[in-house]
Structure 1
Amino acid sequence: MSVNTCIKRFCLLAAVSVLIVAGGCGRHRAVELYVDAVMLNDLDQRDKALRKLDGALINDRSFALAYSLKGDIYQRQGNYEMSSKAYERATELNPMSFKDFYNLGIVNVHLERLRKAANAFVAASEIDPQSYDSHYQAGVCYQKLKDFANAIPCYNKARQIKPDSTEIDKMLGEIFTELEDYDKAVSEYRRALEREGNKPELMMPLATAYLRLERYNAAKELLNAVVDLEPANKMAHQYLGFAVIKTGNPQAAVGHYLQAVDLDYTDWMAHKGLGVAYLLSYGQTGDKSLLKKGVDQWKLSLKLNPDQPQLTRMISKYQSLL
């Protein structure tokens, strides 16, 4: 055994000596086995460490630290089911353990048990109200569950701890967009954009919120910036085509939709939008070649996605004009 290992073992024994004093021979043996497990875990001998912990728990079934370490080891091994069981028992024995509640949340996220994970993160945040990660992770779980009434307060508590958190801005922006509260969504995305600069992953949802609010010029400005940064962003071209149509220039919109179609010929929405742009351009110019192009694009859209009854009716209507 190395000198460092010996020193670490001595420190551990000193730290848990109170457990030995509080218990009898069983507790004494449990602590010894626990310390051995800690050493073995540090040496990456985790299976041996787990056997030591099993022995410790045979000697003392209420040894919370042993359950906690089992949770750690199983988590590192990717055995989240066993890790969850160990952390849950640790929290039952020591309900003031921030570390065990937090990790119980983490492993249950991996297990996709989001409600259980959220409850664990909330419990951790109650033990340490200044833990940004606990509030944030609880918010993420609630958001995935569509439980926005609980997600928003969690994110707001996290923001109080870290006011400059862009990830909070983005998450709240997503929630308010889903709640169709687009003014609040705009506020959140603008806050993130002011801190992070021109990032398409922030500019796109902000532009979408502007479109929902019918603020088409603001949306156009953002979307033009996005296509400058990411010329292959097909959704930016589609949304830009829509915004340009709404500001009265369908012939200019044709170019943006053509870009979107070129980037992804299988995108039925892009073909449908291109058809609309052609038909509106026909309405302005009377050029029947644009009418035909529009109907042809709608037919392509319908072929890619047959479940468009309204588009089927529109094709029949405009086909008769050819």
Structure 2
Amino acid sequence: MGNFFTSLFSGSSESPEESKAKEDKKNFDIFKYDGVRAQKIGQVTYAIKCFLEALKIQSDFETMGYLAVAYTSVNQLEEASQVYDQMVEAEPDHLSTWITRANLAYMMERYESVIEGTTYVIEKDNTLANAFYLRGKAYQGLSDLLNALADLTRTIALKDDYTEAYLSRAEVLLGMRQADEALTDVEKALELSPEEEALYLLRGQIHESQDNLDAAHEDYQYVLDLNPFNEDAYVMKGKLLIKQGKPAEAADLFTDAIELKPDFAKAFAERGRAYTLLGKSKEALEDLKQAIELDPQGEEAKKIEGQHTNFDDMYKGGIF
């Protein structure tokens, strides 16, 4: 009878708890889908705020996924990693989340974490090629070439058109001084992805290891023809020219690269080496200074760290 009169005079039979639950659901949906819309149009900071507010109201797996993607897109990798940790804890059988989490860990060079996560996935389902691929890449990052080779081979057995797996296995084989086998993998990958620049660069390195320097030169130049802004191609071709006893050509090449990309620190460093071979010590020193100013945490800066008190002593110290 009491509920009847409550309904009669208030127009509703909802309890306060039910009203609050309905309001929470409404607010959750507003925050979640405002975040989704913001993310679609590139307003990622606002999207993150929306997802965080939604998750304060309700722990929702899908919203956590949106939040992790948003964090990753703005390079907040630590925050994204924490969200993925929560997601795999919430739904441990959702294997695609484990793989996405492992991808992120690989980006952060947390190779042990990649191996742990992908091993969990493989134990649940040993038919997922990308799990073996990621674990193989993690072993490669740890310089465990035998385990890397085993996992990358298993990847290819499961998916014989996996271009990245052929490329990575070729890198591993080259590291194991098995150049002929590495070349076979690269050629197979090129059949699958004939415009992939990284494959030509790797093939050039393989040719160099076989002392086939003309073929290596052709591969590096082909990449520059495809993409005049490919920094690795400039560095590899320039080093090859120096190996061939052509430092003047190498210096000219790096000058061209610097004209295209004035902040190309590695090109300054490599041109400095070429100038050193040409006896141009002043120019070499200026290039070294420029390389370190552009990349204070780079290879050249690390070489001189704690060894010299000023730039004037660098050349004398044999930095090149």
Contact 2:174 2:206 in 1 (8 A): yes
Contact 1:115 1:142 in 2 (8 A): no
Q: Please state whether the residue corresponding to 2:268 is helix, strand or coil.
A: coil
The answer to whether the aligner puts 1:263 opposite 2:226 as a matched pair is: yes
Residue 202 (structure 1) aligned to one of 161, 165, 170: 165
Deviation at 1:252, TM superposition (A): 4.1
How far apart, in 1, do the equivalents of 2:141 and 2:178 lie?
18
Q: Which residue of 2 aligns with 1:146?
A: 109
Q: Which residue of 2 aligns with 1:302?
A: 254
> C-alpha deviations, 1:231-261, integer Å up to 9, x for none?
4444333322321232233344344344344
Residue 275 (structure 1) aligned to one of 219, 223, 241: 241
Q: TM-score, normalised by structure 2?
A: 0.63
Amino acid at match of 2:64: L
Q: Which residue of 1 aligns with 2:54?
A: 86
How far apart, in 1, do the equivalents of 2:85 and 2:210 lie?
47
How far apart, in 1, do the equivalents of 2:198 and 2:252 lie?
18
Change in Cα spacing, 1:232 to 1:276, as seen in structure 2 (3 Å) is farther
Q: Please state whether the residue corresponding to 1:306 is helix, strand or coil.
A: helix
Q: Which residue of 2 aligns with 1:223?
A: 186
Amino acid at match of 1:217: D
How far apart, in 2, do the equivalents of 1:24 and 1:234 lie?
65
> C-alpha deviations, 1:26-50, integer Å up to 9, x for none?
123345xx3xxxxxxxxxxxxxxxx
Deviation at 1:173, TM superposition (A): 3.0
If you compute each CA radius of gyration, which structure gives the higher value, 1 or 2?
A: 1
Q: TM-score, normalised by structure 1?
A: 0.63
Structure 2 gaps of 5+ residues are: 1-12, 39-46, 258-266, 281-320
> C-alpha deviations, 1:119-150, integer Å up to 9, x for none?
33333333433221332233233333333333
Q: Give the aligned length.
A: 243
> C-alpha deviations, 1:9-37, integer Å up to 9, x for none?
xxxxxxxxxxxxxx973123345xx3xxx
> C-alpha deviations, 1:182-210, integer Å up to 9, x for none?
33322222222222214433322221222
Normalized per residue, the structure richer in helix is: 1
Q: Which residue of 2 aligns with 1:74?
A: 34
Amino acid at match of 2:189: V
> C-alpha deviations, 1:67-126, integer Å up to 9, x for none?
6544532343233312222213423xxxxxxxx145324313303443343333333333
Change in Cα spacing, 1:197 to 1:250, as seen in structure 2 (3 Å) is same
Q: Which residue of 2 aligns with 1:28?
A: 18
Contact 2:36 2:66 in 1 (8 A): no
Query: What are the residue-to-residue correspondences of 1:233-248 with 2, within 5 Å?
Result: 233-248=196-211
Amino acid at match of 1:200: T
Q: Please state whether the residue corresponding to 1:313 is helix, strand or coil.
A: helix
Where does structure 1 differ by over 6 angstroms across 4 or more consecutive aligned residues? none
How far apart, in 2, do the equivalents of 1:226 and 1:124 lie?
35
Amino acid at match of 2:156: L
How far apart, in 1, do the equivalents of 2:145 and 2:158 lie?
20
Change in Cα spacing, 1:264 to 1:82, as seen in structure 2 (3 Å) is closer
Q: Which residue of 2 aligns with 1:169?
A: 132
**CA RMSD, aligned part only?**
3.1
Change in Cα spacing, 1:221 to 1:306, as seen in structure 2 (3 Å) is same
The answer to whether the aligner puts 1:107 opposite 2:67 as a matched pair is: yes
Structure 1 gaps of 5+ residues are: 1-22, 35-55, 58-64, 92-99, 280-290, 318-322
How far apart, in 2, do the equivalents of 1:173 and 1:220 lie?
19
Q: Which residue of 2 aligns with 1:250?
A: 213
Q: Which residue of 1 aligns with 2:6?
A: none
Q: Please state whether the residue corresponding to 1:307 is helix, strand or coil.
A: helix
> C-alpha deviations, 1:250-290, integer Å up to 9, x for none?
3443443443444345541243254156x2xxxxxxxxxxx
Change in Cα spacing, 1:162 to 1:120, as seen in structure 2 (3 Å) is same
Deviation at 1:297, TM superposition (A): 3.3
